[in-house]
Amino acid sequence: MARVTKASKSTKFATPARRPVAKRSAATASAAGTRKPGQSAKTQAPTLRRPTRATTPAARAAAAQPAPKVSKEELRANLGKLAQLVVALRAKSREANKAAKVAAARIAELEAEVTRLEKQAAAAPPPVREPRPAKRQRREIDPGDSVPPGVAVQEAAPLDDEAETALENLEAHLAHE
């Protein structure tokens, strides 16, 4: 069953929402007005900005406090540590550069080998498939025919005591059936 829709009581028509207009900052508005007719925006002299002020209380407190005083000896000690760190980093950088050069040489060597192998594979003729031999038809073969007479056992070996008793017990049980 279909739903019945009610007519709305308002007489306003639906109008599309207006897009917000992008506001230009005062610096760009003044810069746009000071351009000469033949001058583009790229060639115009840059305008200077005022530094922004800290607006949060924590930022204001951090900006208001001066840096702690450090003695000359502490600065010299820090300078020595940093100098040693620079020396260590330069040594690591040298080692890394050497390793990179060795790796680049190895890469070039492997690329040369790959191109050589690709050329060799392209020059070699494709492998020729040999035709398969026709399958032989199977025939009834006696299993004894495949063993040569000199290899096959002609007579069975004599039975030992255990084998004889097992054979007698088997014959006795089969006789009852």
What average pLDDT does this structure show over 47-54? 59
Q: What three-state secondary structure class fits 108?
A: helix
* pLDDT at 26 (0 to 100): 54
Q: Is 77 within a domain?
A: yes
The confidence score (pLDDT) of residue 10 equals: 56
The average pLDDT across 106-110 equals 97
- On whether residue 83 sits in a domain, the answer given is yes
pTM above 0.85, yes or no: no
Q: What is the pLDDT of residues 59-80, one digit of tens each?
A: 777 677 777 888 999 999 999 9
Amino acid at 66: P
- Domain that includes residue 95, residue range: 72-125
Please tell me the predicted confidence (pLDDT) of residue 155.
73
Look at residue 113 and tell me if it is in a domain.
Answer: yes
Is 95 domain-assigned?
yes
pLDDT in tens, 95-107: 999 999 999 999 9
Q: What percent of the chain has pLDDT over 90?
A: 29
- Report the C-alpha gap between 79 and 81 in whole angstroms: 5
In a domain, 30, yes or no: no
Contact between 172 and 164 (Cβ < 8 Å): no
Mean pLDDT value across residues 155-175 = 85
- Give the number of domains in the chain: 1
Residue 89 lies in a domain: yes
Q: By C-alpha distance, which of 63, 81, 65 is closest to 73?
A: 81
**pLDDT tens digits for range 5-40:** 665 555 555 555 666 655 555 555 555 555 555 555
pLDDT for the residue 70: 86
**What is d(CA 177, CA 173) in angstroms, rounded to the nearest whole number?**
7
Does position 163 have pLDDT exceeding 60, yes or no?
yes
Closest CA to 27 of 45, 7, 12, 11: 45
Inside any domain, residue 66: no
Residue 99 resides in a domain:
yes
